Amino acid sequence: MTRPKRAVRENAWLGRAKRIMALAQTGLAYAANDYERDRYRELEAISLAMMADLTGSEVAAIGPFFEGNCGYQTPKVDVRAGVIREGKILLVREKADGRWAPPGGFADIGCSPARTAVKETREEAGLRVEPVRLIAVLDKALHPHPPSPYHIYKILFLCRERGGKLAPGWEVLDAAFFDPRKLPPLSKERITRRQIGLFFEYRKHPSEPPVFD
């Protein structure tokens, strides 16, 4: 089985800007006085300006991503469920960009990765599933996704249908199964063609170890 090729590492300056933001937010949580807090807020502002320059976004559009964050900063976790039926894969159409991805999203506090895959598939596509195989744990920055202000790990599960009725939930525009050779426009923020291919490859070769990084 072929392993996915990692893309060129994310823009080095974007990585540094995100690291500065993490240090600033950690510092704000533990600052001992107003002088330290002012310095860390200045670092936050510098980080936001760098991210805006590097992504072509406005500072005002990026800032809300970090509002309310405090304490030691760690990567977010995006979980995706691969459900295959008669050689076709389940995809949902995202409201955010009108494009398609396997059901999933950021893991909630108190919900394990596998339970997140189950919950998201039920909520977004109306199907009950059982995770049967961990496919991959990926650093999003090392794969061909658009630049992101967050540092994100992606966890992919191969899942088996256990019931329910296919129907789009309120969080998405539509849900349907697609032939991997005739995929609709994909939400590149959430999934790549190569990652979709992994679900089919691991279905054929279930004894292969998961992909990582």
Q: Give residue limits of the domains in the chain.
A: 12-65, 76-212
**What span, in angstroms and rounded, lies between the C-alpha atoms of 197 and 92?**
17
pLDDT at 109: 78
pTM over 0.85: no
Residues lower than pLDDT 70 in the chain = 1-10, 65, 67-73
* Amino acid in the structure at residue 32: A
* CATH number assigned to the domain covering 76-212: 3.90.79.10
- The answer to whether 90 and 125 are in contact (CB under 8 A) is yes
Dihedral sign, Cα of residue 155, residue 118, residue 188, residue 135: positive
**What span, in angstroms and rounded, lies between the C-alpha atoms of 112 and 11?**
31
- The answer to whether 117 and 154 are in contact (CB under 8 A) is no
CA-based R_g, the chain, Å: 19
pLDDT at 71: 62
